[in-house]
Structure 1
Amino acid sequence: MVETASIAGTPPVRIGRLTLANGVVLAPMAGITDAPVRQLALRYGAGLVVSEMIASGWLMRGEVEARLRAERVEGGLHAVQLAGREAGQLAAAAELAEGAGADLIDLNMGCPAKKVTGGEAGAALMRNLDHAERLVAAVTARVAVPVTVKMRLGWDEASINAAELARRAEAAGAAAVTVHGRTRRQFYSGRADWAAIGQVKAHVTIPVIANGDIASAADARAALGASGADGVMVGRAAQGRPWLPGRIARELAGGAPAGDPPLAEQRDVLLELHEALLSHHGCEVGLKVARKHLGWGLAVAAATAGAAPDAAGVWRQRVLTAAEPARVRALLADAFAAFAWKEAA
């Protein structure tokens, strides 16, 4: 087990009655942060990992996918992110998650995807703060565990209202908020505005977590400095790098700067993740789910070895078209042997 670290020079991040191991959080990412990925991130020292977004209706209907997404991982707090628009259903889903062992409930009010906002959930709630506040109040009234809210700066540049939503969320009982430094209209274009997150911090007394474009300890320091936030959340930069949040935390705590692990360790992590995904989802689904993770991991390995980008593409194509687990394992071993040869050359 990799030891966790606290951020030097900043108070521990306390969310309600919970204290995080450190202030670097792995973001909830749909289709990505299932239990095997979260388990690896925790082992490498992430302060908190959050489940994939779960639609409250799915959880209430007991759909298999939602139950898989909500699976607890060992070695850390169990945070479950819920999305929805109907207060009674969302509160009931939160109660169900709490009963299943959730230590924390996160409410998604920031997802920009059209399939979510089209149902007036996710970031669409930033266009109706009265209703968003009612949702928070309904959930906090139903569960005893801390409730947090993830949001964006606003729907668009003409409606930057994260500070007001955060203020209302706190008044309704939220224990912390996470703010992605972009509007919904931006999706992931441009750069995250960490300074704008500072306006949220100025309007609440609960912890604020800064999110968006945090890919290194230097980024984390800059985001914390610009926003005054209490912690940071790492998202897309951790794709293929489950060790990243923990490494950022250790460097912020005064540890020596560290890049990606040696190739042999990266290989072992990918092989372990591949097996865990097969076990978690079943062989047929697990093979499909693993492909994106293996593709990202191969790209990271190629960069570590200094290989040309097209080298990663060649191996990625071979691995991602393999139809049998044994063939995937063999190809991964061959790919990393080739990368190691390139690194030594």
Structure 2
Amino acid sequence: MLKIGNYLLSNFPLLLAPMEDVSDPPFRAICKEQGADLMYTEFISSEGLIRNATKSVKKLEIYNHERPIGIQIFGEAIETMQAAAVIVENTQPTLLDINYGCPVKQVACKGAGAGILLDLPKMQAMAAEIVKQVSIPVTVKTRLGWDHASIKILEVVQRLQDVGVQAVTIHGRTRQQMYKGEADWSYIAQVKAHPSIHIPIFGNGDIDNPAKAVTYKKRYGVDGIMIGRASIGYPWIFREIKHYYATGTLLPPPTLQERIETVKKHLVHAIQWKGERLGILEMRRHYTNYFRGIQFIKNYRLSLVEAPSYAVICDLLEEILHMQIGQTPTL
């Protein structure tokens, strides 16, 4: 079994990535149901936490059914990150994750996220102070480097391990790449295989099907895999990877009926979390992803987005199902 702090994970855990405007409690509930072993919140601004900003504080909300769960924070100032770490620990997550990988300009160019990879001593000092500040395990998500010329990922992980970080997830791209090009897992493999590294190493980047996940596990030797964009609108990827890893066979894709039932569950979770009006508004961005590849769904996109209530949305979803099985629509 794999161990982070005192928490045991399976021998090949699947992690849900911390994705802004995606990895909220409703989405996490769906992914947990489909087999995600360890999940992370959306990344949270340390400045927002210490200023008690409503949006940042709301992201701290976690639930027992989600455990194990990590709360991820980002920021450029060591003192602010320390203070935010204390706030996070009071929420009692399984672990605290430091974001050293976000590539977006508003974060990285201020010295937070992937920007801190330009200053490895500061990166190490920040992680050290956070580890000292809290009693829960501290993990890190990072990238290969700022650009190809500055890839020092082995040194990064060694420095983090030296100050008590208990696991690292590596996205196989540089900050300069953003999300373009192919993730290079060879660097991740070098870190995992190095004799000085004894903490769990998780790989991230481009895993979008079960065969690729298992192939990369075997080829690069990672302890587990973090799934990000491939889970958006397709939480079934977790169960499919697990099934393929256990049996070597592929599960059939979800039926339209299963997609509809999952959309309903997601919507119910969203309404329970934020109320009907906000829950419906936030669910709008998910419909296209859940029904990706279903040709006739384009006729319903606008209606789903404009639907004013849970009842109307459910009626539309039933009509979509009837269209698929050749019955007469009810509306």
- Kindly indicate whether residue 58 of structure 2 is the aligned counterpart of residue 68 of structure 1: yes
CA distance in 2, matches of 1:266, 1:38: 16
Q: After superposition, where does 1:178-189 map in structure 2 within 5 Å?
A: 178-189=169-180
Whether the 8 Å CA contact 2:144–2:152 is kept in 1: the answer is yes
Matched AA of 1:333: E
| TM-score, with structure 1 as normaliser | 0.88
- Kindly indicate whether residue 303 of structure 2 is the aligned counterpart of residue 312 of structure 1: no
What do the CA deviations read for 1:278-324 (whole angstroms, capped 9, x no partner)? 2212333222211111221121xxx3xxx43xx23332232123233
Matched AA of 1:26: L
Determine helix, strand or coil for the equivalent of 1:115.
helix
What do the CA deviations read for 1:158-217 (whole angstroms, capped 9, x no partner)? 111222111111011100000111111111111111122112213421110000011122
Distance 1:144 1:340, change over 3 A: farther
* Residue 159 of structure 1, aligned match among 150, 157, 161: 150
Matched AA of 1:81: Q
Distance 1:338 1:53, change over 3 A: same
Matched AA of 1:195: S
Determine helix, strand or coil for the equivalent of 2:291.
helix
CA distance in 2, matches of 1:70, 1:213: 28
- Kindly indicate whether residue 139 of structure 2 is the aligned counterpart of residue 174 of structure 1: no
CA distance in 2, matches of 1:148, 1:79: 9
Whether the 8 Å CA contact 1:104–1:146 is kept in 2: the answer is yes
CA distance in 1, matches of 2:247, 2:132: 40
Matched AA of 1:59: L
Match in the other structure for 2:188 = 197
Determine helix, strand or coil for the equivalent of 2:72.
strand
Matched AA of 2:62: R
Distance 1:153 1:339, change over 3 A: farther
Whether the 8 Å CA contact 1:46–1:249 is kept in 2: the answer is no
- Kindly indicate whether residue 290 of structure 2 is the aligned counterpart of residue 294 of structure 1: no
Match in the other structure for 1:224 = 217
Matched AA of 1:15: I
- Kindly indicate whether residue 131 of structure 2 is the aligned counterpart of residue 140 of structure 1: yes
- Kindly indicate whether residue 132 of structure 2 is the aligned counterpart of residue 131 of structure 1: no
Aligned residues: 323
CA distance in 1, matches of 2:252, 2:83: 43
Match in the other structure for 2:263 = 270
CA distance in 1, matches of 2:45, 2:101: 14
Q: After superposition, where does 1:66-145 map in structure 2 within 5 Å?
A: 66-75=56-65, 76-145=67-136
- Kindly indicate whether residue 29 of structure 2 is the aligned counterpart of residue 39 of structure 1: yes
**Structure 2: runs of 5 or more not aligned:** none
Determine helix, strand or coil for the equivalent of 2:244.
helix
Whether the 8 Å CA contact 1:51–1:79 is kept in 2: the answer is yes
Matched AA of 2:8: T
Whether the 8 Å CA contact 1:240–1:297 is kept in 2: the answer is yes
How far off its partner does 1:274 sit?
Answer: 1.0
Match in the other structure for 1:27 = 17
CA distance in 2, matches of 1:198, 1:341: 50
**Structure 1: runs of 5 or more not aligned:** 1-11
Whether the 8 Å CA contact 1:195–1:226 is kept in 2: the answer is no
What do the CA deviations read for 1:66-94 (whole angstroms, capped 9, x no partner)? 23222213332121011111112212212
Using the TM superposition, name which of 278-287 and 171-180 deviates more.
278-287
- Kindly indicate whether residue 204 of structure 2 is the aligned counterpart of residue 211 of structure 1: yes
Q: Percent of aligned pairs with the same residue?
A: 33
CA distance in 2, matches of 1:99, 1:246: 32
Distance 1:129 1:269, change over 3 A: same
Whether the 8 Å CA contact 1:238–1:244 is kept in 2: the answer is yes
How far off its partner does 1:255 sit?
Answer: 6.7
Q: After superposition, where does 1:227-238 map in structure 2 within 5 Å?
A: 227-238=220-231
CA distance in 2, matches of 1:43, 1:273: 11
Matched AA of 1:221: V
Distance 1:13 1:259, change over 3 A: farther
Whether the 8 Å CA contact 2:153–2:187 is kept in 1: the answer is no
CA distance in 2, matches of 1:339, 1:92: 53
CA distance in 1, matches of 2:174, 2:252: 31
Matched AA of 1:18: Y
CA distance in 2, matches of 1:69, 1:245: 23
What do the CA deviations read for 1:116-159 (whole angstroms, capped 9, x no partner)? 11321111111111111111101100111111110111111111
Determine helix, strand or coil for the equivalent of 2:258.
helix
Determine helix, strand or coil for the equivalent of 1:62.
coil
Matched AA of 1:45: G
